Structure 1
Amino acid sequence: MTLAWHAVLLLFAKVLLPPLAPSCFPALGAAVVNLVWATAVGSVLWLLRRYGPRSTPAPPAPAT
């Protein structure tokens, strides 16, 4: 999974970065990629926090 994640990230950066490198701001492509990935990760974390697994209360102890 980690290898696939890095492969997708590298491919995305290689395809997106070259057109987004104007002479006035050569790091624009990297900034855009970082912003997109930070937004994606933040969205996933927010969704997991909002709709993720909910803890259920423990069952009552048996009466002795």
Structure 2
Amino acid sequence: LLLYSSGILVGLITWDFAMAIIASTFRRFLSKPILMGISIISGISLIGIGIYFAIQAAKVLFT
């Protein structure tokens, strides 16, 4: 259990650091309007995924 938990934690930390490095690298090459567009599209996507899973949960709970 300790080995698997440690592996998951190391994987998450590695992923977070990699994403932070990639984001800071590409930030230099992208303009503010493009970054805003990416942020808006990401936010809308997350809202859509949340709604989808809420509908799926409601179907499971009420049928």
TM-score w.r.t. structure 2 length? Answer: 0.43
Rg larger for: 1
Which gives a bigger RCO, structure 1 or 2 (Cα 8 Å, sep 6+)?
1
Q: As a proportion of its length, which structure holds more helix? A: 2
